[in-house]
Amino acid sequence: MIDHAHLNSLIELIGKETVNNIRLEFVEDSNEKIALLLQAWDKRDYQELRQVSHSLKSASLNMAMQVFAKQCQLIEEAAAQQSDQGVQAIMDSLPATHQTSLKELDAYFSK
């Protein structure tokens, strides 16, 4: 779910404490954005869906959450095309993927 090599590189560049502080901010921000994403999906607000999924994709890539970022990218691409095809399945699994990825990040920073 997460890219350990990416995290190791970040830590080498800016330090574990700094990366962990960024992670803690990301956790709060991403939880809020997941809620916004689900609301946008319920309303089929494709512009909001595209913007929020893009933001989540970018931030999650920075935090080495590859699988979650890929799901956000697929949502972003579908929203840009204003297409529902395949999005429901992603939206159904997105919160669990998010939480699993966050748990892996937490475990990484706990060692």
Can you tell me the mean pLDDT for 2-23?
96
pTM: 0.93
- How far CA 96 is from CA of 9, 30, 34, in Å, comes to 27, 13, 11
CATH superfamily of 4-110: HPT domain (1.20.120.160)
For residues 75-101, average pLDDT: 95
* Angle formed by the axes of helices 46-62 and 16-43, nearest 10°: 160
- Rounded Cα gap, residues 111 and 53, in angstroms: 30
| pLDDT band (50, 70, 90) for residue 111 | confident
pLDDT band at 94 (very low <50, low <70, confident <90, very high): very high
| Span 17-66, pLDDT tens digits | 999 999 999 999 999 999 999 999 999 999 999 999 999 999 999 999 99
CA torsion through residues 17, 18, 23, 29, sign: positive
